[in-house]
Structure 1
Amino acid sequence: MPIQSINTTALESFRPSNDQVIKKSSPYEAQQSFAAMLNDSLQTVNDAQVQSDKATEKMIKGEKIDLHDVMITSQKASVSLALTMELRNKAVEAYQEVMRMSV
């Protein structure tokens, strides 16, 4: 698996295109959009965990799979889960901070 370097063309994918320009929406639409984005992100983390489990099972069963592929898959899943947990912790912390504010 080749490692690609970061260049300016790779960073262009993070900039919103004309179709993705943020537009005003109702609170309900914003909530639905956020929920869909959150669901997609959690599905991606889950997929990484499932791929890691499958690769580990293949190695245990003695099927043809390279050890470094298993380790890379496992680390990707581990890092994505750690990031998800940190984002959850920050969201809970922000919620608690808002709840402590006096009106």
Structure 2
Amino acid sequence: MELTKIGSLQTPTVLSTNNTSSVSPGEAQQKFSTTLKNAIDTLNSYQVQSDMKTQALAKGEINDLHDVMITAQKSSIALQTAVEVQRKVIDAYTEVMRMQV
């Protein structure tokens, strides 16, 4: 059994903390609100698309059940993800509010 020398081990490099870009609170708020609005718009479009395909299937306008089910499942997963993200954000907010300054 061969053991390597401790001296041959490399030390981990330290990440520089000076690489953070300074963003003003107003810019950060704008970026966050834009991202949130885009996510909600995407979720809404999934819901609308699912409703339209479901109604078209019920009326007999389309015959592709697989496509309707895939669209409905995509909409359902997007909604579940949004609800879970909302829950995590509320938990994080609650935790921050409990902190003592």
Q: Which band: TM-score by shorter chain?
A: 0.7 to 0.9
Could you tell me which residue of structure 2 aligns to residue 85 of structure 1? 83
Q: Which has the larger radius of gyration?
A: 2
**Aligned to 1:102, what secondary structure does the other structure show?**
coil
> Aligned letter for 1:29?
E
Could you tell me which residue of structure 2 aligns to residue 101 of structure 1? 99
Q: Which runs of 5+ in 1 are unaligned?
A: 1-21
| TM-score normalised by L of structure 2 | 0.78
| TM-score normalised by L of structure 1 | 0.76
- Write out per-residue CA displacement over residues 42-86 of structure 1, whole angstroms, 9 at most, x where no aligned residue: 100000000000000000111123000000000000000000000
Of 58-67 and 68-77, more deviation after overlay is shown by 58-67
Q: Aligned partners of 2:21, 2:43: CA distance in 1, in Å?
A: 28
Aligned match of 2:57 in 56, 59, 63? Answer: 59
Q: Aligned partners of 1:72, 1:83: CA distance in 2, in Å?
A: 16
Q: Aligned partners of 1:23, 1:57: CA distance in 2, in Å?
A: 49
After the TM superposition, list the runs of 4 or more consecutive aligned residues in structure 1 that deviate by more than 4 angstroms.
none
Q: Aligned partners of 1:95, 1:37: CA distance in 2, in Å?
A: 18
Provide the alpha-carbon RMSD of the alignment: 1.1
Q: Aligned partners of 1:102, 1:23: CA distance in 2, in Å?
A: 28
> Aligned letter for 1:49?
Q
Q: Which runs of 5+ in 2 are unaligned?
A: 1-19
Q: Aligned partners of 2:21, 2:44: CA distance in 1, in Å?
A: 30
Identical pairs, percent: 50
